Amino acid sequence: MTPLKLYLIRAVYDWAVDGSFTPQLLVDAAAAGVKVPPAYVQDGRIVLNIHPRAVAHFEFAADAVRFSARFGGQSLPVEAPYAAVLAIYARENNQGITFPEMHVEASRSAATDEKPPEDKPPGKGPSLRIVK
């Protein structure tokens, strides 16, 4: 089954390209399956320009966004599973959509065998915010 996130990312991507904006992905670089050049990661995240002029072999696959991009003059493969995508937005006006990080935090705590405190109240549901 194709994740809803794929369709939302694709919709914002199409809107940005059609409006002559630069679509950018904010990705959790530490999430499982992410393949990005580590030298360009800041605070565990990376912003990727996914405009058609900036990438080659771009693909919205069933499980991840894949493409090749130039970093420091060298073409490198990039892969960002949908679970690792934190936001997609237009660079020029910062309009787009953000996604909750609950799934990423849950996979990290499971990987470190941490157990959440039992007396902690349940968190709020997903919410939208503007990425600047």
Those residues with Cβ within 8 angstroms of residue 76's Cβ, 6 or more apart along the chain or in another chain:
37, 68, 69, 70
Residue range 53-75, pLDDT digits in tens = 999 999 999 999 999 999 999 99
Q: Model confidence over 77-113: pLDDT tens digits?
A: 999 999 999 999 999 999 999 998 754 444 444 444 4
User: What is the rounded average pLDDT for all residues in the chain?
Assistant: 85
Q: Does domain 4-111 have CATH number 2.30.30.220?
A: yes
The one-letter amino acid code at 13 reads: Y
Provide the pLDDT for residue 113: 45
* Bigger pLDDT: 132 vs 1: 132
The pLDDT of residue 105 is 45
| Tens digits of residue pLDDT in 26-50 | 999 999 999 999 999 999 999 999 9
Query: 44: which 2 tokens?
Result: 């565990």
Higher per-residue confidence, 24 vs 101: 24
What string of DSSP letters covers 54-70? TEEEEEE-SSEEEEEEE
Report the C-alpha gap between 67 and 54 in whole angstroms: 10
d(CA 79, CA 64): 6
Q: Where are the domains of the chain?
A: 4-111
Supply φ then ψ for residue 98, to 5 degrees.
-110, 160
- For residues 104 and 20, give the distance between their C-alpha atoms in angstroms, rounded to a whole number: 31
